[in-house]
Amino acid sequence: SQTIHQWPATLVQPVGSPLSLECTVEGTSNPNLYWYRQAAGRGLQLLFYSVGIGQISSEVPQNLSASRPQDRQFILSSKKLLLSDSGFYLCAWNQGSGTEAFFGQGTRLTVV
Amino acid sequence: GQQLNQSPQSMFIQEGEDVSMNCTSSSIFNTWLWYKQDPGEGPVLLIALYKAGELTSNGRLTAQFGITRKDSFLNISASIPSDVGIYFCAGPDTTSGTYKYIFGTGTRLKVLA
């Protein structure tokens, strides 16, 4: 069966520090991968998605970037965090267009 | 772009009551997905609908794909305290030619024991 792993679960980082969140999917190949951010009590905002290695689509201009160095690995990064980068970050995957998407457990990022 | 409107935004109900929430759009969707999110957790897929008119159950949950393909509803029967959470509807974006999903703003459910 397929599983998605996201880490770390929580992270507290100072303003101006770098960020690296990692997401991996097991049990499937060539998944579509997604990074979402969720502000407290709010909906899901799509940040990036990828349909293949090295292919990244950005949805909103921001202080973040994404990379997909391997088929089942998706990384969210920042060179210098801002206070406004705080939030709940979720990785998701699906297989093909129009199919169900499955989410990781999320990373709670607090920038102080 | 496509948007999904969920209602109600929040609801308080008594344990044992039935719950109904819906999701509407001005454009057509080919798939409807319903998720539940517990506090501090990622959304978990509850039900997926692929055909107009389809009615699907998952335990006490029942969801339907509207005939017009512009709406869907989710019902929860005999609610229990663990039904607390945020329920999201979602569907693949059919207008942009991409692999994006559109998510509703969520219905926050609180169950009073």
Q: What is the pLDDT of residue A62?
A: 79
The pair of structure tokens assigned to B95 is 């207008």
Least confident of A40-44, B31-35, B52-56: A40-44
Put simply, whether B31 touches A (Cβ < 8 Å) is yes
Contact between B58 and B19 under an 8 Å Cβ cutoff? The reply is: no
CA distance A84 to A51: 28
Instruction: For A56-103, write each residue's pLDDT tens digit.
Output: 999 886 789 999 999 999 999 999 999 999 999 999 999 877 789 999
Instruction: For B37-64, write each residue's pLDDT tens digit.
Output: 998 999 999 999 999 999 999 999 999 9
Q: What is the pLDDT of residue A9?
A: 94
Q: Please, which residues 5-64 of chain A have a Cβ atom closer than 8 Å to chain B?
A: 6, 32, 34, 41-44, 46, 49, 51, 57, 59
Sign of torsion over alpha carbons B26, B27, B30, B32: negative
Contact between A100 and A92 under an 8 Å Cβ cutoff? The reply is: no
Report CB contact under 8 Å: A44, B43. yes
**Confidence at A5, pLDDT banded by 50, 70, 90:** very high
Report CB contact under 8 Å: B98, A57. yes
CA distance B19 to A39: 26
User: What does the pLDDT average to over B65-90?
Assistant: 96
**Confidence at B71, pLDDT banded by 50, 70, 90:** very high
CB contacts of A92 in chain B (<8 Å) are 42
